[in-house]
C-alpha cells in the first residue's frame, strides 16, 4: 500500500533511467527493486540516495558483507520491514548463512536489552573508556 506509485523503467525519465542503469550495472541485477521505484517520484532524492548507498556500501575498511549485516541490525532495531527483507536478501547474496543471520539477531537482541539496563540504571561511563582515542 505504497503512498506513491512505483515508477517502472519504461515510464521513467532519462534522468531516472540513468540512475536505474547504474544500480543495475553496479549490482549486476536485471531490474531495480521497489525502493528505487518509489524514490523515483523525487528524481533528485533518488540520485542523492543512490550516490550515498553506492559510496557507503562499496569496498572500504569494512567487508561489504559486514556492512550489510550492520544494515540489517539497524533495520531490525528500528523495525523497518522493507529494509529487513531487502538487506537480508542482499546479505545472503554476499554470503550470509542462516547461522550468521541467527547470530546477528541474537546480538541485536542482546544489545537492545543491555542498552536499556545501562540507560535504566544510568551507569556512568568508566574513566578508561573516556580516554581520548589516538588516530
Residues 22-61 that bind its own copies (CB under 8 A): 33-35, 38-39, 41-42, 44-45, 48-49, 51-53, 55-57, 60-61
Least distance CB 14 / its own copies (angstroms):
18
21 binds its own copies (CB under 8 A): no
- Phi then psi for residue 4, to 5 deg, are -135, 155
Residues 86-125, interacting with its own copies (CB under 8 A): 86-89, 92, 97-125
Q: In which region does residue 127 sit, left (phi positive, over 0), alpha (psi from -120 to 50) or beta (all else)?
A: alpha
10 binds its own copies (CB under 8 A): no
Non-local CB neighbours of 46 within 8 Å, separated by 6+ positions? 16, 19, 36, 39, 40
Amino acid at each position: 500500500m505504497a503512498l506513491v506509485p512505483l515508477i517502472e523503467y519504461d515510464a521513467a525519465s532519462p534522468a531516472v533511467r540513468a540512475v536505474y542503469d547504474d544500480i543495475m550495472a553496479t549490482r549486476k541485477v536485471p531490474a531495480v527493486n521497489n525502493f528505487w521505484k518509489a524514490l523515483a517520484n523525487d528524481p533528485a532524492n533518488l540520485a542523492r540516495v543512490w550516490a550515498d548507498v553506492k559510496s557507503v556500501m562499496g569496498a572500504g575498511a569494512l567487508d561489504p558483507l559486514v556492512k550489510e549485516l550492520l544494515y540489517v541490525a539497524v533495520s531490525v532495531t528500528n523495525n523497518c520491514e522493507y529494509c529487513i527483507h531487502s538487506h537480508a536478501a542482499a546479505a545472503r547474496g554476499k554470503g550470509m548463512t542462516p547461522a550468521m543471520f541467527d547470530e546477528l539477531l541474537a546480538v541485536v537482541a542482546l544489545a537492545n536489552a543491555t542498552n536499556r539496563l545501562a540507560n535504566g540504571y544510568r551507569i556512568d561511563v568508566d574513566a578508561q573508556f573516556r580516554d581520548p582515542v589516538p588516530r
